[in-house]
Amino acid sequence: MMAKVRGVFLLTFWTILIGVVAPFMIAACLITGNENAIYSPSRFFIRLGLRLVGVRVEVRGLEHLVPDQTYIFAPNHQSMIEVPLLITYLGRNPGYLAKKEVFKYPIFGYGISLMGVVPVDRSNSVAAIESARLATEKLRAGKDYVVYPEGTRSPDGRMLPFKKGAFMMAVEAGVPVVPVSISGSSTIMPKGEIKILPSTIYVTIHAPISTAGYSRANISELVARTEEKVRSGLSDEERYQASEFGDRGSRSGA
């Protein structure tokens, strides 16, 4: 019962803040031309919300990142709580590719568009390719992106096979891929449930992998290297096991 109360409280807390504070953040961003007018207060409220419901975050590996280098961050995906978490704890102002439905909320949708979030129509492959192209252009211009290579949240916390889309974006933009391991978030907020179980989320940022020398012909090698790194930072229960792929892969649509 308390877990559900915490989940409802956190989502309500963030939703109210979006409604009340976001217009001022958006106005400040438009006036100053500085996206930090949105990112900085967002980080404060995200940290505050997590603290209020007993969620702790431990981050390791930030020293691997070069300040002036643009990256694609490639994390595993266990829970929807990871999106605000990565905005807050990467030490960057990353954009995302997000399903187009989240843009239907006027203030929220406009605000995230100013943060470089690109809408994706998952039901239209041509439109999805165009969204990836737009994000790749922003990468070339120096905007970091978080792209989930699994393509969806894991149903049980264990890592799903990686797809190639994020890696083709990185190769075409000429930016390194940063493997990111997120452990414990599915326990805190399981997929499909609005509840929070107080615990710690561990975020491990691995050394960037250069995309030099990679192309469509050998992109599978880059995918495999990244997948191996991400898996190395997970618990035994979260690591993808090849013997389990048959039933889990069919359930997830991977």
Look at residue 203 and tell me whether its pLDDT is greater than 50. yes
- pLDDT the model gives residue 124: 84
Q: Which span out of 10-19, 23-32, 78-87 was modeled with the highest average pLDDT?
A: 23-32
Domain 54-240: state its class. Answer: alpha beta
Assign 250 a pLDDT band (cuts: 50, 70, 90): very low
Look at residue 207 and tell me whether its pLDDT is greater than 50. yes
Q: Report CA torsion sign: 194, 198, 199, 201.
A: positive
Mean pLDDT of 109-134: 90
Look at residue 126 and tell me whether its pLDDT is greater than 90. no
Look at residue 219 and tell me whether its pLDDT is greater than 80. yes
- pLDDT the model gives residue 186: 87
pLDDT per position as a tens digit, 145-176:
999 999 888 888 889 899 999 999 999 999 99
End-to-end CA distance of the chain: 33
CA 9 to chain CA mean position, Å: 22
The CA distances from residue 176 to 152, 158, 180, 197, 210, in Å, are 22, 25, 13, 35, 4
- pLDDT the model gives residue 180: 97
Q: How many other CB atoms are found less than 10 A from the CB of residue 239?
A: 16
pLDDT per position as a tens digit, 94-103:
999 988 898 9
| Exposure of 26 in the CB half-sphere (CA atoms within 13 A) | 16
What residue segments make up the domains of the chain, in order of their start? 54-240
- pLDDT the model gives residue 209: 98
At CA 187, angle to CA 184 and CA 161, rounded to 5? Answer: 65
Whose tokens are 């031309």? That residue is 33
- pLDDT the model gives residue 240: 63
Under 8 Å CB-to-CB from 77, ≥6 apart: which residues?
148, 150, 152, 153, 154, 182
Q: Report CA torsion sign: 84, 89, 92, 97.
A: negative
- pLDDT the model gives residue 243: 37
Mean pLDDT of 119-125: 85
- pLDDT the model gives residue 246: 41
